[in-house]
Structure 1
């Protein structure tokens, strides 16, 4: 049986070799899983939802992260709130996970009642001297960054989220994510550790062989290539692609659309990367034919040739295009199970069947997510095999995996492991 005698986490971290994948125990041990939840999902900023999850006053969305349950809601004054889903009486949860509509937060156990702002307004049988103001619901640190909701469960959230906020508010402004709607949502539970899910997303080494639908619009050369092993013809094509990238990026930025890569990775607390990517083929959107799925463009967009503004953090990846956006949230469920929640966004006034075709909108990333789930499950079975030992990353196509592993070890060390 695996992990009969778990190694101390610090000793496992010591085993990590630069340029290589992580030791098996970091993907399999239960104590590592609990430490990951504490370090990466409590003490760092994580992406949990969108303003458009709760478009109207009284709309609420509950998100569970480990043993923590959060309520994302829009209060009566139309303000976004994030509150702990825990009654201040005896701890009962108000709401089950998922979407709902409420006028007040009423504890189902003893009917303590709270405004949507979190203020306690009714606590029956507690006596005249009971101070309701001391028992308001606990708020959660959160930021709406271009309409994306990030939370931090720590009392001292990392301050370097300021760069993410500054960069993405500007880059997301033309898409007006705050005024979108969710056209479709799909939850997939991957049979793998959350770090395998994130590693799989940060490289396209596997794309050509595994993602035929995505590769219609995605360019795997964007993720690197080994010039020494390419034929002269393929090398010339790759070099030409890089030249086109520089030219396209320069032109986009001259037109007022920030496009160059911005990274805050190893050596920092908040981990993210963004860049405007070229879309292959017809060049408009990540659809089966690379043309736009929605005729009603996002926000103030008037062009379909502005590529794919990608953004990833340590528990998410996102693609923002002229006609729609795809956003994915990653939440660990156990050492070997991970929830991937994918949402497809369109302009709030877009009408299905009139402005967009739902199948065309969703086909590529439904297929890609299902394919990735199979790959992650295979990876998990591999790291659980006694024959597994950390292998070398390609310095050409997997450098971001090495960076992620380095950041992971750094952050674990910074929090006492």
Structure 2
């Protein structure tokens, strides 16, 4: 009996037929998962939180990423710093995952004590020759763009984070996202591979049938449609859609908002991202069931409510910023078939719950959408692990960004010699 040859991760992705899905083993195998975490979550820039996670000096947020763990803290000078969650003595974790408030960072094992700037301030019984200046906490490369806290665990982080920063900083500026607070946050564990979570987020082929709450405000045509065999009525609707988009973008541009699409998604990209100022349906104000603003206290010093949705993708996150609130979601892979999805709803720091906004109005669209996406990812993951699964063909009209993600994934594996 001949032995079954197990293909490597590189062989698997190179076997993918263009315009088709990935082989099922890339979603289910433990060795593939571990390599994905190493490359895509520890060598690339990833989103790990927002500035409102640590609103005051001494506030701490701890995030685990595979076997690595980081501490995000706001120091006494209001700066946000990030460190490896490893004591410089014998390696104990300083903080458990989650949020807390501290005066200093104290190791629970032997009480080595660190200032919020990472410097070691106290280490008992070490003798007079001990030099604490060599034992500061290990810093993590960090970039803050708007409210988004991006980190990279590699020694040499990808330089093209500057493209994302240069593109998004002026787009986020009118919303003053650092002057926000978290009105609501959620955590969902989806029983599916992280790549399937991202693939699902990058197409709206499924939106009309599965996301009734989202499509009250969101226009799925923004992410493609098949122009063939349309009825006269459908053609008129498409023409009206294009006309409205053009009018909205012209209006935004005249008021100083940058609305044009920017894509850095191809095989040459390392820090992959896409942004666009999307038109919102109905009243055009916010991603709510009514399409009106959920918070009467607008972000920043905005006067206009009808600013659509400033949308940002990265390879582990998606963001929607509107005049009244923002929704920021990011993922962390936990296992080949488990992915943590964290979402945060941000409002103006001075907005008052029950006065300026109601939690249900603010959150019901994306709470429902996240639950629906969880189900879609899970049934897809199960199907890709079925012996009958064969990668299917993508729609060239509505799944082009899924194809693009697949090519980028292959290019990044190749760049690291996989």
**TM band (smaller chain):** over 0.9
* Cα distance per residue 1:40-80 (max 9 Å; x no partner): 00111101111111111000000111111111110111111
Structure 1's consecutive aligned runs of 4 or more residues displaced over 3 angstroms after TM superposition are none
Task: Tell me the residue number matched to 2:261.
Answer: 261
* 1:63-212 superposed matches below 5 A: 63-212=63-212
Structure 1 counterpart of 2:289: 288
The Cα of 1:289 is off from its aligned counterpart by 1.0
Secondary structure of 1:165's aligned partner: helix
> Structure 2 CA distance, aligned partners of 1:144 and 1:102?
22
From the superposition, tell whether residues 125 and 5 of structure 1 become closer, same or farther in structure 2 (CA, over 3 Å).
farther
SS at match of 1:34: helix
The answer to whether the 8 Å contact 1:281/1:290 transfers is: yes
C-alpha separation in 1, matches of 2:378 and 2:278: 28
Match of 1:27 in 2: 27
Label 1:374 to 1:125 Cα distance change in 2 as closer, same or farther (>3 A): same
Matched pairs, number:
414
Deviation at 1:149?
A: 0.4
Shift of 1:7: 2.4
Structure 1 residue 240: Cα displacement: 2.6
Contact 1:6 1:29 in 2 (8 A): no
Counterpart position of 1:394: 395
| Structure 1 counterpart of 2:350 | 349
Task: Note closer, same or farther for the CA distance 1:5–1:331 as it changes in structure 2 (3 Å cut).
Answer: farther
Which residue pairs with 1:60 in the alignment? 60
Q: Secondary structure at the residue paired with 2:178?
A: helix
- For structure 1, the 5+ residue unaligned runs are none
Q: Point out the more displaced range, 11-20 or 324-333.
A: 11-20
What's the secondary structure of 1:83's corresponding residue?
Answer: strand
TM-score (norm 1): 0.98
What do residues 268-311 of structure 1 show as CA deviations (whole Å, max 9, x unaligned)? 11100000000011211111111111000001211111100000
Alignment of 1:303-322 (within 5 A): 303-322=304-323
Give CA-to-partner distance per residue, 1:199-226, whole Å, 9 cap, x none.
1011110001000011100111111111
Structure 1 residues 57-114: Cα deviation after superposition (integer angstroms, max 9, x where no partner): 0000001111111111101111110011110001000111111000001110001111
> 265-274 or 4-13, which moves further after superposition?
4-13
Corresponding residue of 1:373: 374
Q: Does 1:299 align with 2:300?
A: yes
TM-score, length basis structure 2: 0.98
Partner of 1:226: 226
Q: Write the deviation string for residues 125-151 of structure 1: whole angstroms up to 9, x where unpaired.
A: 111101111111000000001121000
Partner Cα separation in structure 2 for residue 158 and residue 404 of structure 1: 18
Give the whole-Å Cα distance in 1 for the aligned partners of 2:82 and 2:256: 34
Deviation at 1:391, TM superposition (A): 0.9
CA deviations 1:130-183 (Å, max 9, x no partner) are 111111100000000112100000011111111110111100011111010000
The verdict on how the C-alpha distance between 1:5 and 1:124 changes in structure 2, with shifts beyond 3 A counting, is farther
Question: 2:230, 2:68 → 1: CA distance?
Answer: 49
1:9 aligns with 2:31: no
Q: Aligned equivalents of 1:92 and 1:333: distance in 2?
A: 21
Compute the displacement of 1:243 (Å).
2.9
Measure how far apart 1:16 and its partner are.
1.2
What's the CA shift for 1:6? 4.3
Deviation per residue, 1:366-412 (Å, 9 max, x gap): 00000000000000001000111111111101100000000000001
CA RMSD of aligned residues (A): 1.0
Give the drift of 1:232. Answer: 2.0
Q: Which residue of 2 aligns with 1:241?
A: 241
Q: Aligned partners of 2:235 and 2:329: how far apart in 1?
A: 33
> Unpaired runs of 5+ in structure 2?
none
- The equivalent residue for 1:251 is 251
State the partner residue of 1:273: 274
